[in-house]
Amino acid sequence: MSHLLDTNVCIKLLNNSNQKIVKRLASYSPDLIYISTVTIFELYYGAYRSQRKEQNLINLQRFINEFKCLNFTEKAGEKAGYIRSYLAAKGTPIGVYDLQIAAIAVVNNLILVTHNVNEFNRVNDLVIEDWEE
């Protein structure tokens, strides 16, 4: 099955700060790994706000080019709206960007790779893996 990398996993890969994640990623075919436009937005935001902006932007562009990218589509938008409504009714909302990433994973039948398990566990039908464990 294919995987969608959450932003926190991408940051650790960019910083080469967790060898478990690096090794796990290396065990999969690149064709089975995706990132979302939401994650790309979050990563660019961080790079533009960083002290080493120019170098981080170069590194980020190289990193992004290693993966296939999934957009936040109309179908994902509908799913995100449903999930947000459902979680709000339960009193257990999650952040908007995480909500969008979760919806992209669900509508594309992808496993979400994240260390933010507590937040994403609230989303029904979302399959999660924590590669830091």
CATH number of the domain to which 124 belongs: 3.40.50.1010
The helix (run of H) or strand (run of E) holding residue 64 is helix 53-64
Share of the chain above pLDDT 90, in %: 98
Whole-number pLDDT of residue 18? 93
Side-chain-facing half-sphere of 26: CA atoms under 13 Å: 8
The helix (run of H) or strand (run of E) holding residue 13 is helix 7-14
Whole-number pLDDT of residue 133? 83
Burial class (CB in 10 A: 0-12, 13-18, 19+), 86: middle
Total domains, the chain: 1
- Per the structure, the complete domain to which residue 121 belongs is given by 3-129
Whole-number pLDDT of residue 95? 96
As a whole number of angstroms, the distance between CA 26 and CA 115 comes to 18
Which segments in the chain show pLDDT lower than 70?
Answer: none
